[in-house]
Structure 1
Amino acid sequence: MSDSTTNLLLPYLMAAQAQKHITHNEALRLLDGLVQLSVKSRGLTAPPATPSDGDRYIVASGATGGWAGWDLNVALWTEGAWLRLPPRAGWRAWVEGEAVLLVRHGAGWQPMVPTAFDDLTRLGIGMEASAGSPFSAKLNSALWTALYAADGGSGDLTQTLNRETGTDDAGLILQTGFSTRALIGMFGSDKLRIAVSPDGSSFRDALGVDPATGIADQPNLPRFKAYTNYDNYVGTDTWTTLGINVAEYNDQGCFDAGTNRFVAPVAGTYLLGASLFFKINASGNARMRGRLVLNGSTEIRGSFGEVSGAHVSEATALWLQTMVALDAGDTVTLQGSFRAADGYFAANHTTFWGAKIG
């Protein structure tokens, strides 16, 4: 029959044993030292000079003096002597100097809250992770901060999204109610893309950057170039909206050839311009004028121009250009007029163009 318990090695009272109180008190001392185990520290290799009764320590590796050979054991100071308590798997100890809870695992002590997680198959924070989303988090905010140099880091903060091949995807998918509304990254190619969607199924690219040249493209930027395909007769001193009726290109459908006007699809700053070519009617002295008009009535400041003197038919030109802030739905038309004599604005050469620049 054993003379001590299996797990805590508490001494048994034996039959016909004299002075049983000594054995009993020894068992109580062991219980007092082990139950609700809390140690002063785990960093000392030699006993402190002035311990207090009941002090406990996890002996650090490389122990010397009265603790020699007690590496990673628990040392208990009781009744003027150090008592060695060999730890068992699963023992828990609170380290007062560090405010950390340890558990005995294998040959050492490990934090109850692990400092590293390796080879997890899934992790859910505030929700259950799934095979399709092995890392899932349900929360209202998240913070990533650099490890500062004072804390042993470099002060940098980078995040890498790596894909297997150039035809795979690497990027951010932004959703509303789990329906995709925006994409930022490389999707199916090496081109950097920003794309948006109103419904989660159809997407339009707002920005693309070519990886070979670094040239940025805005394929859906409002922009147009249009011209008239007939000679526009205009009398003297009569401002007339020119029949700009053929669009060479018309991104976002912002130019209405039926009404000969540009319609701003969104608010912003636009660069607008025109080229007006003179075609003689009866006199080469007609003074050709042009301007851009906002919402059918207001001349846009800086858009007016005039050519005077003798003109050559289909060779004399007037160029206009200005920048203007527009609200969504604002319209701009190209108007022309003559002074001194009437004339034509030439077909195919008289153009109107514009683009959003901000």
Structure 2
Amino acid sequence: MSNDVTPRLSLPFVAAGQAQKHITVNEALGKLDGLVQLAVQSRTTAAQPASPADGAMHILPSGATGAAWLGTAAGLLARYADGIWETLTPKAGWLAWIIDEGLALIHDGEAWTPLSSTFKALTAARSPFLAASRFEILEQELTLSGASVATTVTIPNRAIVLGVSTRTSVAVTGATSYSCGVSGDAAKFGSSLGVAKNASNVGVIGPTAYYADTPVVITAAGGSFTGGKVRVSIHAMRFDAPAAV
């Protein structure tokens, strides 16, 4: 173990006989405030915010721009405190709530992946090549406007979808009902869905494979959306290939 920082969160230790110990203690408390119950504003914001709130946290996407973000590796955490941005390297097992998507992620040591209801059907003990199958629920709350709104959370490429469920979290205005589907099949997961708060639908389908990242689309009926929110949950199975040799 390093004599300077803790092994998991890299919190600085106070050295024996150190002057101004409060500086080191405050630095450690600041990191704890950001990393414990980790919640990030977004994982898709590429432009460094001009006026972030103190304590703001982001997962950096590819191609991030800005004085402090430019050239940083995708997947790093960026934390804003005391007027500066600090990048932090996540480790395997870290959990994060993505505020703008309403989605939980877990870091597997290489990348952030959705956490919701992840299930490894095959383990190393049963599969020497480390292939695996897992069930996931990918979720997002949409703010409705216009004729239709698409999710930024997508049905993953090479996933099998069992259904998409919805719940009206804020009463819908402008439309008399709505459909849930995908581009080219607006009602694939349900039509004439309720606009009142807490109206819900479970759009079960026969297992369907998708071969490209595919957004779910909420389409207005009887008029365009002028307000309201809908929570969308994609129920899917995903598959991992055998490990590299």
TM-score by length of 2: 0.49
Q: If each structure's strand is expressed as a fraction of its own residues, which one has the higher value? A: 2
Structure with higher RCO (Cα < 8 A, 6+ apart): 2
Return the index of the structure with the highest Cα Rg.
Answer: 1
TM-score by length of 1: 0.34
